Structure 1
Amino acid sequence: MPASRSYPEPARGLSGRAERLLPGLAGAAIAVAAAFLVHRLVPVLPAMTLAVVLGVLAANLPVAGAWTAGRARPGLDFAGKHLMRGGIVLLGLKVGIMDVLGLGWLSLVLIVGVVAASFGGTYAISRLFRLPPVTSLLVATGFSICGASAIGAMAAVRRIRHVDTVLPVALVTLCGTLAIGVLPLLVHPLRLSAPVFGAWTGASVHDVGQVVATAQTAGTAALGIAVVVKLTRVLLLAPVAAIAGAHHRLAPRPADTGDGQNTKLPPVVPLFVLGFVAMVGLRSTGWLAPGWLEAGGALQDILLGAALFGLGSAVRVRTLLHTGGRALLAALASWFLIALLGLAAALLIAA
């Protein structure tokens, strides 16, 4: 008799988990659809940025805020963590090795130098403004590589709590959105050609969608080089994640307390980062038809959009205003530094 009662328990457990996740995932799906609809009507607004903004709005409106903090929270947290990883894997389908190598070795060295200087400079600025080391690490990763996707990857590699990614994602979204409005206004005062402006955008703007929205204001010549330069930065996500994972394994760890929590080390490179590298390799073979690449890109956008809505829904503006003043100043200073570094590199890349 006891054995007969033991079988239904897993089924009820799985059903209960699905019921807990469903409200948040359904809300994220609706938000992603709304973000794509607005993007279609107003192309200058990237869908990923809109997803974060919708999440923040949902978290701070009276009725929706109670829903995102209560019944929908498990599904939104699931989206912010697991769907983010799936989106990062599929992001690799946008990066072709031959496109990157086509920039030339000097350009590649310059881009790597910009990423390294941006990472180190942003981390130093964040610590100067007395931000916690974890926040400083995530901000530096997002600003220097590829926005929220890089933040999600670094958080997974270093096993950083989901709640600690909320502020860095908000900052990288804010500054990336700021670039969409500010950088095009500087084209004429700085007398930048379209290729230089495109290279500058690709080297300094955070998210891929934000790069496209910014560069397309100067035409196809700017957009083409902007996307290639940006995807070269995206490609650096894999080595940066590997270095972070190796450092985490080698760092001194607390003595085992006997509960088993300190005995398991994280992998040097998580599976989703290996998946990202595999997708880059698959894209580079040329085996995939354009239709498959488009389908993969569409699915990637859906997964990342849902993840960003989930992260945005954890942002409480009142708390952010009380605790994020120094973080905002650090982010703006870092954004200015990266803009200068990117412009210097762009003048050499597109010379």
Structure 2
Amino acid sequence: MPKNSQAPGTNEQQSSSNPSPQPAVTSQRRMMIPGLAVCLATGLLCIFVSQFLNGLSALLLAIILGAVWRNVAPIPKVLNPGITIASKRLLRLGIVLLGLQLSLGTILGLGPGVLLVVVLSVGVTFALTLWIGGKMGIDLPQRLLIATGFSICGAAAVAATENVTRAKQDQVATAIGLVVLFGTLMIPAMPLLGALLGLDDRSTGMLIGASTHEVAQVVAAGGSVSAAALAVAVTVKLARVALLAPIIAGLGIYMRRKHSVEGGKNPPLVPLFVLGFIAAMLLRTTGVLPESALSIAQSAQTLLLAAAMFALGLGVHLRSIVKSGGQALLLGLLGTLIIVSVATVGTLLYPPA
């Protein structure tokens, strides 16, 4: 018998004991397709429908549709892998592209008084909401999610905070549900408050931008007043969004020092997508990108965030809010009252020029 007559069998046996990982990877990717397709298609649908619904943005509509589906009908399990990807990766990519809407020059152009109000709105709301939640006995991750979402930029901030706090999925869903609930109530309430205080359109826009939770909700509220109010509201709101990076970085440092999991991997100091957000903001500030590129990026960002908001809405289960015993709901109410109070006093003292 030839010396190497067993080689083919041996090689075949070795090959079978070390199968290529490629089929498994391909299978996982295929599993993501149905859920991703549903989220992206719903995002496109919301963008289309929002054009005919004055005051209702695509992002807000997507969250509402997701929450309605989650609470009235079962979600097919085949969609779960893609929904998970949409709620995390698409959201993070959308946040990175959101940085292209921020120019440091535009933000600094608000003036020192308005910028002070922005910083106080975020800082005071975050600190007091976190402190009050602690006195109420609410878990730290839940408090951080609510405090960040209500002080900065709603569901996107909640998702960013989840990355460094190791929050449970039901805690994330509760925070997002509260952002949707109270932020939606603020759409008619903040313009009404501005009218009651006798504020002009630009000051009303500042009040809306400094207090309202979601960017989409700010657009809806500001647009219901006037174009001038909308312009100021969005600029002030984006100034708040710019504070997402330092807040998340600070949380990353705090969680590493005080609350890292024993024997586990430490939370990231600064998530990669937050660095991408900063890089995009700096790129926009340079002015090298043409308007056509910025327009395409904004359309892509809207689609990605709408798809992600729908996916996040699918995780909003009303029972999870009820199970909190009303504590999270009360904290959300108090957080809203805090930021409205700070924004109101700040607008009266330092109205936009």
TM-score calculated relative to the size of structure 2: 0.91
Does 2:179 correspond to 1:172? yes
Deviation track 1:248-283 (CA, whole Å, cap 9, x = no partner) reads 222254553xxxxx2x33332121111000000000
- Please give the alpha-carbon distance, in whole angstroms, between the structure 2 residues aligned to 1:163 and 1:228: 32
Q: 1:129·1:327 contact (CA, 8 Å) conserved in 2?
A: no
- 2:294 — aligned with what? 293
Contact 2:40 2:304 in 1 (8 A): no
What is the alpha-carbon distance in structure 2 between the residues aligned to residue 118 and residue 104 of structure 1?
21
1:78-104: CA deviation from partner (whole Å, max 9, x where unpaired): 111111111111110111000011112
Contact 2:142 2:167 (C-alpha < 8 Å) held by counterparts: no
Picking from 196, 200, 203, the partner of 2:203 is 196
Query: 1:266 aligns to what?
Result: 267
* Contact 2:260/2:267 (<8 A) preserved: no
Q: Distance in 2 between matches of 1:301 and 1:254?
A: 35
Q: Distance in 1 between matches of 2:60 and 2:315?
A: 15
Tell me the SS of whatever aligns to 1:267: coil
- Alignment check: 8 A CA contact 2:174 2:317 kept: no
2: CA distance, partners of 1:157 / 1:254: 11
CA distance in 1, matches of 2:242, 2:75: 39
The answer to whether the aligner puts 1:284 opposite 2:291 as a matched pair is no
Which letter does structure 1 place at the counterpart of 2:266?
A: L
CA contact (8 A) 1:145 1:236 kept: yes
Cα RMSD (Å): 1.9
Tell me, in whole angstroms, the C-alpha distance in 1 between the residues paired with 2:85 and 2:37.
12
Determine the C-alpha separation between the residues in 1 that align with 2:106 and 2:234: 10
List alignment gaps of at least 5 residues for structure 1: 257-261
Contact persistence 2:253–2:269 (CA under 8 A): yes
Aligned residue in 1 for 2:307 = 306
Find 1:141's aligned residue among 137, 148, 151.
Answer: 148
Specify the alignment match of 1:80 in structure 2.
87
Q: Secondary structure of the residue that 2:62 maps to in structure 1?
A: helix
What CA deviation, in whole Å up to 9, does each residue of 1:273-307 have, x standing for no partner?
11000000000001111111111111111111111
CA drift at 1:163: 4.2
Distance verdict in 2 for CA 1:161–1:322, change over 3 Å: closer
Partner residue of 2:53 out of 28, 42, 55: 42
Report the counterpart of residue 27 of structure 2 in structure 1: 16
5 Å-filtered alignment, 1:61-210, equals 61-62=72-73, 65-67=74-76, 70-210=77-217
Q: Is the 8 Å Cα contact of residues 199 and 349 (structure 1) preserved in structure 2? A: no
Is the 8 Å Cα contact of residues 120 and 342 (structure 2) preserved in structure 1? no
Deviates most, 7-16 or 113-122: 7-16
5 Å-filtered alignment, 1:338-349, equals: 338-349=339-350
- Give the distance between the partners of 2:256 and 2:239, measured in 1 at CA: 27
> Any conservation in 2 of the 1:81–1:162 contact (CA below 8 Å)?
no
Instruction: Tell me, yes or no, if the aligned pair for 1:146 and 1:206 is still in contact at 8 Å.
Output: yes
Which AA in structure 1 matches 2:46? A
The answer to whether the 8 A contact 1:198-1:226 is kept is yes
Residues 52-105 of structure 1: CA deviation (Å, up to 9, x unaligned): 11111221233xx141xx221121111111111111111101110000111122
CA distance in 2, matches of 1:13, 1:324: 43
3-state SS, counterpart of residue 72 of structure 1: helix
Identify unmatched segments of 5+ residues in structure 2.
Answer: 1-11
Q: Which residue identity lines up with residue 51 of structure 1 in the other structure?
A: A
CA offsets per residue over residues 108-134 of structure 1, 9 Å max, x none?
A: 222112210010122233334433211
Distance 2:46 2:95 in 1: 19
Distance 2:208 2:232 in 1: 9
The letter for the 1-side match of 2:112 is W
Q: Secondary structure of the equivalent of 2:78?
A: coil
CA contact (8 A) 2:190 2:207 kept: no
Deviations 1:117-174 (A, max 9, x none): 0101222333344332111110000100111111111111333344431111111111
Structure 1 residues 279 and 58: alpha-carbon distance in aligned structure 2, compared to 1, 3 A threshold: same
Q: Deviations over 1:311-336 (max 9, x none)?
A: 11122234433436322222122212
Aligned residue-pair number: 341
Residue range with higher mean Cα deviation, 123-132 or 202-211: 123-132
Identical amino acids, percent of aligned pairs: 38
Give the C-alpha shift of residue 7 in structure 1. Answer: 7.4
SS of match in other structure, 1:41: coil
Q: Do the aligned residues in 2 keep the contact of 1:55 with 1:310 (CA within 8 Å)?
A: yes
Shift in alpha-carbon separation, 1:252–1:199, aligned structure 2, 3 A: closer
- Show the counterpart of 1:259: none
